[in-house]
Amino acid sequence: MDKVSGLELFERITLDEMKDIRLMRRIDTKYAIRTEILPHLLETLAPDYFIQQDDLSGRRAFEYFTLYYDTPDYAMYRSHQNGKLNRFKIRTREYCDSHSCFLEIKYKSNKGVTQKTRIETDDSHTLNQAGSKEFIGTHSPYCSSSLEAKLESRYRRITLVNKDKTERLTIDFDLEFQHTLTDKKVELPGLVIIEAKKGGYAPSLVEQKMKQQHITPYRLSKYCLGTALTDPRVKQNGIKRKVFHIHKITDFIYG
């Protein structure tokens, strides 16, 4: 049973029905809210959205494990902190409930469009899989030999789809980060990161709903936030304000 209040209010959509709403090329809008706000927000969204549900288990909140890769000198992290467009993120992701793994590359263009490409892999902890080197070289300016594992991220995710099936909404909570080199770990139990994903620039339903709830967009990268919190050696100037804002939302629990 999922313990998040409000999930029972939604009509379900199955994983098979979700396949046509992947939005691998999209416009993203992010929000950061406190955990206690989530039940009321879900109640507000329920009439207009489906919720992804596993038909076998009935589960509606799913566990994710993500491992982010970067160059030894944090080229991708620095590109983000310096406000550079046409930037990349490279990561492996495991859907813990189904044990399926993917190598994913996200590209953010100078027009604000996110393009995600991915291939299935056998192991979320390595890039030494058949086809991984070629995939990275084809879809990014990096080569796998220049990359090292930097940051582990674990969280639970709820996925909503509007009833017109034109946009997705991911809701991430119970976030944990652990740096692979410093071994420093941090938990953010009071934080929820919401990401609205749509196929174009037109205003979306969730943007209207958020505005009604006085929740404003907030640009936030889980990779950059987790890295800044777990590796004091990285450049912090561009993210200090965001860390301070997140600190007001939730206490950091360091392990």
pLDDT reported for residue 7: 95
What amino acid is encoded at 247 in this protein? H
Query: What DSSP letter does each residue of the chain carry, written as one string?
Result: ---STTGGGSEEE-HHHHGGG--SEEEEEEEEEEGGGHHHHHHHHGGGEEEE--TTT---SEEEEEEEEE-TT-HHHHHHHTT-SSEEEEEEEEETTTTEEEEEEEEE-TTSEEEEEEEEES-TT-S-STTHHHHHHHHSS--GGG-EEEEEEEEEEEEEEETTSSEEEEEEEEEEEEETTT--EEEETTEEEEEEEESSSS--HHHHHHHHTT-------HHHHHHHHH-TTS--TTTHHHHHHHHHHS--EE-
Give 84's contacts (C-beta < 8 A, 6+ positions apart): none
pLDDT of the residue at 2: 65
Cβ atoms 108, 224 nearer than 8 A: no
Q: Please report the pLDDT score of residue 56 as a whole number.
A: 81
Whole-angstrom distance, CA of residue 47 vs CA of residue 58: 20
Query: Do 234 and 227 form a contact (C-beta atoms < 8 A)?
Result: yes
pLDDT at 23: 66
Overall fold of domain 25-254: Hypothetical Protein Pfu-838710-001 (2.40.320)
Report the 10 Å Cβ neighbour count for 128.
10
The whole-number pLDDT of residue 1 equals 41
Select from 245, 198, 199, 188 the least CA-distant residue to 220. 245
Q: Say which residues have a Cβ less than 8 Å from residue 48's Cβ, sequence separation at least 6.
A: 162, 163, 205, 209
What is residue 46's predicted lDDT score, i.e. its pLDDT? 96
For the chain, 255 residues long, the average pLDDT of each consecutive 10-residue run is 84 85 78 95 96 89 97 96 91 92 93 90 85 94 95 97 90 97 94 90 83 92 96 89 88 81
